[in-house]
Amino acid sequence: MAVLSLFQSAPKDQHDEILDFIAIFCEDENLHDALQNLSPRTMPWQKNLWLIDMRACSDFWLYKAKRENLDISACINQQLKEIFGDEEYYASASPTPWEAILLLKASREKGFPGMIHFTSRLGKNLLRGFSWDLWWESCGEYAAIKNIPDAMVNKARHAMSIAMKRLGCQRPEQFRTLPSPQIRRRFGALVADVWQLSFPERQGLKTVDAIQFFPWTSHVTSHRPFVKRHLDHELREWNSIEELLREDLNRLCVLGSFKKEERILNLEWRIVLCNLQVFPIHILFRHPHSLHQDCPSQRTALLQINYAFDKIFSSKASSAETGLISWQLEIVEKAPARLRQGSLFHESSDDLQSLQQLENMIKKPLESFALSNDWLAEDSFCKAGDASDSSVFENYLPLAAKRPLFLYPDVPAFSCDRHTRVGHFQERTMDKWWKSSNRSRDYYQMIQDETMLWVYRDQEGSWFTQGIYG
């Protein structure tokens, strides 16, 4: 399923792609909860040092930046200024959480408050000058998260410090190409793991693997809203289960611990079968979802629960042990109400809200397309975010105003009949010589069976249907 966006795909800013994770240090503990204004996925790394996973709200920040004609970095900086005001803070943005921690520590050591980006010149220089003392301090914090004894850290530090002193290595960055397997053999698994996270690109570690390898532990609120149900008899049919789930979802909406302005991202349905086997089923929403707005039908949540239920139990439908005898619905992850500006995901009637609601209801995510600056019809659009930043001398986007939204991936031949009416000549386009031996196309509007088609004739006189007007 695809959606074509009628906006020019703007070139991607060099800093926009590194806002996946943000590390923030602030001594005012009263502002820690306000950090969830950026994203509901946060992790307390050390006292006053927090990690924020921005991927949970990436669509929101992209849309907000587009509407305000800003890049994402500027939008995030605006929000940080609103949160901290005149309070001094240190922040760093990076594609992985560990690199964000290292950059934050370096900026604090050198005294550079505010937001610093991983790919900026200052960010690169700070990481190049990262000291061994800071690296070992971070290594100790990593060991504490992993419950590794301090004695093991101290032993590895003593051995590695002697080796680095002999080799004249004054900073970790100087030995960034040293393979982690060699470090593992000489100094142990702890040092090797941290070494990989510190230099993932040099160690051949993909960004996605570095993120998964990081010991992320989400900040858990003191109380998660939940409801329980014990059934009088076992249930197997979805129609019967659905009605009871609808009641329970509406019961969640009236709990005092679940505010109307909050949105859910992760809902756990923990079911108990008749053989007392427990199945936790996580219902993940692609966009923050409001149960209160969906009350009383709860159609969106029920659809997602149904997809997960069918996926797990479709092969066990005839089994005598698949009857449900009880369950618990618990909100695992939610986006809180913003402390200063109302809801982060403010309700509106625009097309984006409708698309996000639709995407929360269907099995597969929508694909978003944007116009690209190319004269050839089949190359004049691309997936949103994939547009190249190549410099062009002409602006071909006005051509899109006369072109249809639906284009055939494989162009079929067009045959005229007595019901075909010849329309207006639209444009003449040259093929790309390195892709086709055909040199030109003449485009026309044709009406056939009360359907307006976009057809073209090549230089050999053959006709083809390029697209259909809505």
- CATH number, domain with residue 37: 3.30.70
Question: Above 60 in pLDDT, residue 369?
Answer: yes
pLDDT band at 419 (very low <50, low <70, confident <90, very high): low
Domain membership of residue 144 (yes or no) is yes
> By residue range, what is the domain housing residue 144?
132-213
Do 243 and 320 reside in the same domain of the chain?
yes
Question: What are the pLDDT digits (tens) for 452-469?
Answer: 889 998 888 888 998 998
Domain membership of residue 386 (yes or no) is no
Most confident among 433-437, 441-445, 449-453 (mean pLDDT): 441-445
Give one DSSP letter per residue of 247-274, joined into a string. HHHHHHHT-TTS-TT-EEEEEEEEEEET
Domain membership of residue 377 (yes or no) is no
Residues 195-221: what's their mean pLDDT? 88
Residues 91-95: what's their mean pLDDT? 92
pLDDT of residue 350: 59
Question: Above 70 in pLDDT, residue 4?
Answer: no
Give one DSSP letter per residue of 193-260, joined into a string. HHHHHHSTTTTT--HHHHHHHS-------S---EEEEEEEEEE--HHHHHHHHHHHHHHHHT-TTS-T
Query: Lowest-confidence range among 271-280, 288-297, 312-321, 400-409?
Result: 312-321
Question: Above 70 in pLDDT, residue 374?
Answer: yes
Per cent of the chain over pLDDT 90 is: 29
Total domains in the fold of the chain:
4
Question: What are the pLDDT digits (tens) for 28-46?
Answer: 777 777 787 788 788 999 8
Residues 57-70: what's their mean pLDDT? 77
- CATH number, domain with residue 260: 3.30.1490.100
Q: What is the pTM of this model?
A: 0.62
Question: Above 50 in pLDDT, residue 343?
Answer: no
Residues 184-198: what's their mean pLDDT? 91
Please count the helices (runs of H) and the strands (runs of E) in the chain.
Answer: 12, 17
Question: Above 70 in pLDDT, residue 7?
Answer: no
Question: Above 80 in pLDDT, residue 366?
Answer: no
Buried b (16+ CB within 10 A) or exposed e, 53-89: bbebbebbbbebbbeeeebbbebbeebbeebbeeeeb
Do 124 and 145 reside in the same domain of the chain?
no
Q: In this predicted model, which residue has the larger pLDDT, 29 or 393?
A: 29
Residues 331-347: what's their mean pLDDT? 55
